[in-house]
Amino acid sequence: MGCTSCATGANGQPKGCKNNGTCGTDGCNKLTVFDWLSNMQLPADMEPFNAVEVRFKNGRKEFFQNPENLTLSIGDVVATEASPGHDIGIITLTGELVRVQMKKKKVPVKVEALPKIYRKASQKDIDIWQGVRNKEADVQKRSREIAIRHGLQMKISDVEFQGDASKVIFYYTAEERVDFRELIKEFARTFNTRIEMKQVGFRQEAARLGGIGSCGRELCCSTWLTDFRSVNTSAARYQQLSLNPQKLAGQCGKLKCCLNYELDTYLEALESFPNTETKLQTEKGNATCQKIDIFKGLLWYAYENEFANWHELTAEKANEIIELNKKGKKPLALEEFIIESPKAEKEPFSNVVGQDSLTRFDQPKQKGKKRRKKSRNKNRGKAEATAGTAQKNKPRNKAPKRTGNKPSNKPRNPKPMKNE
């Protein structure tokens, strides 16, 4: 659900959000939470939970207490306690769901220990907040130039002003430890405010900046994903994916978080499969696993001296051979356990009502070609006609040629006789 600024204009063209995520309705913000308890009433002897969740720039969220018992709802812009001064944020959650979120994020459920909400933001507070937000792009550009001039191996990925413009937070990424003491001094002289540096990981950087993934959707980390679990290449191996770093890496340069989404399902399916490193012992020879298909429950084995010939087995048959090997028995060959699955015959094509031939869509194209040929012939005829009329209008200096035996009334020029 978007705000009114995201609607369409008078001519039907989309307006687009002009507030860049600070419209106050929280409908076009990142990590939006739906309060499904808003329509429910609390018991008569129960007091409402006196804490709220407030969102600041991008995905930064914090919990605050409401000591003044202000009437707050989702989307309200409030002035919160900060060090120093105050900050401006948007309320994203109220009521009992705040208690659930605090338990989920392992925040001590002691309202008295939380920072306070001072008041609802006035128009003056919002104007100052919007003014410093508009400066962030220019400050980020200048800060990058200063960091390059100091020769520091770091990247300033984002800049966040506090709501009262008393402090600037610079978010940066670096692979090694960076000594930025001189950098902070120059920042303080240049921007004339208090400076704070925060190092974030590459995944947190991608979450703050946002973008479009290879699947065509917005990045999970910038929309709904809040916790970043470690991802290993073993997750790709279990899912039978090619170990291509360009395909497995996301925009952050690390392995994609979505590799963990279906990993548990694959691990559960692989429990019925034998170990791929286990060799099948037969009288004909030992066979090693070459390929598995988790969805069909099939494995392909090849003898050690015949790697070109693969034999298809089901997971149950492969486990049966392994159990025989454990008992000291060897089957004659893998061919005894191969089950030939019947091939599905293709149904012949049958005409449906209104579909007489498969080339029915090609006929208009042929008619178009004929029309083109006819138009070309007409143009040629017109050109010949115009050429004929032009020849008729020209004065004839030469005598016309005789056609047939028809005598001509025009006098002939006598040919000169040759003297022999």
198 pLDDT more than 80: yes
What is the value of pTM for the model shown?
A: 0.62
Confidence of residue 351 (pLDDT cuts 50, 70, 90): low
Three-state SS for 60?
A: coil
22 pLDDT more than 50: no
Residue 331 has a pLDDT of 87
Where exactly does CATH 2.30.30 map onto the chain? 272-337
284 pLDDT more than 50: yes
Confidence of residue 227 (pLDDT cuts 50, 70, 90): confident
Confidence of residue 2 (pLDDT cuts 50, 70, 90): very low
- Topology at the third CATH level for domain 272-337: SH3 type barrels. (2.30.30)
21 pLDDT more than 50: no
Mean pLDDT of all residues in the chain? 80
Confidence of residue 24 (pLDDT cuts 50, 70, 90): very low
Contacts 24+ apart (CB under 8 A), 231-240: 231/255, 231/256, 231/257, 231/259, 231/260, 235/259, 235/260, 235/263, 238/263, 238/266, 238/267, 238/270, 239/263, 239/266, 240/292, 240/294
Report pLDDT digits (tens) over 386-407: 655 555 555 555 445 554 454 5
302 pLDDT more than 60: yes
Share of the chain above pLDDT 90, in %: 35
What is the CATH class of 127-200? alpha beta
Three-state SS for 157?
A: strand
Report pLDDT digits (tens) over 116-133: 999 999 999 999 999 999
Where exactly does CATH 3.30.300.20 map onto the chain? 127-200
Amino acid at 394: K
- Distance between CA atoms of residues 49 and 35, nearest Å: 14
Higher pLDDT, 86 or 413: 86
- Distance between CA atoms of residues 309 and 321, nearest Å: 19
- Distance between CA atoms of residues 380 and 284, nearest Å: 80
